[in-house]
Amino acid sequence: MSHAGEEDWTQGWHPQARRIASPNFGPRPPKARVDLAIIHSISLPPGQYGGDEIERLFTNRLDWNAHPYFEAIRGAEVSAHFVIRRDGELLQFVSTLDRAWHAGPSCWQGRDNCNDFSIGIELEGLEDHPFEVPQYARLAELLRACHTHWGIARIAGHEHVAPGRKRDPGCGFDWVNLQALLGWEAQCFPPSIGR
């Protein structure tokens, strides 16, 4: 779906992302229509930023004994397609051609198993806490590229596809700001963002 003059995503890898391949992925179902981006938040340990713990978690190299919180997630095998650090740095762990393990049990607009048809984007942050200006700028840029190259037409939070189970990115995420940055129609966003 790329247009002339735009950078090519070789095998589903964003040309400007720092690539850190995760083993935690699988194939998408045949003929899956990938049209949803799911926004998450993550920090390890919770509320601490800038370390390599997210990278270690997504590549199955996290030292479970390094912090008391890690015992609660011991053995987790998870990933997302992208992580956006607090300073806007873009990391990619799974090709967008593949199914990352980010949403878990989930449903969006009557479609179950959101991992099958979504791109997972983690923002380094804590649910319900504010995110940084460079993160919104990078997120909007990434979502525009995902729309152009992969047909992403909808955006939801983890809290919207797994209500009652997940709360991220939470009330600290500024959906109105993201909509303004993208200029997309209201129906592209969760109905509960207070427009």
55 is catalytic: no
Average pLDDT score over residue span 160-186: 96
Q: Which of 53, 71, 122, 127 is catalytic?
A: 122
Quick one: average pLDDT of 133-145? 98
Q: Residue 100 corresponds to which amino acid?
A: A
- Per-residue confidence at 5, pLDDT binned at 50, 70, 90? very low
Domain spans of the chain? 16-25+32-188
| Cα gap 115→117, rounded to integer Å | 6
H-helix or E-strand spanning residue 176: helix 175-182
Q: What is the CATH number of domain 16-25+32-188?
A: 3.40.80.10
Q: Is 161 exposed, middle or buried (0-12, 13-18, 19+ CB in 10 A)?
A: buried
Q: What residues contact 77, with CB distance under 8 A and at least 6 apart?
A: 24, 60, 101
Percentage of residues of the chain with pLDDT beyond 70: 94
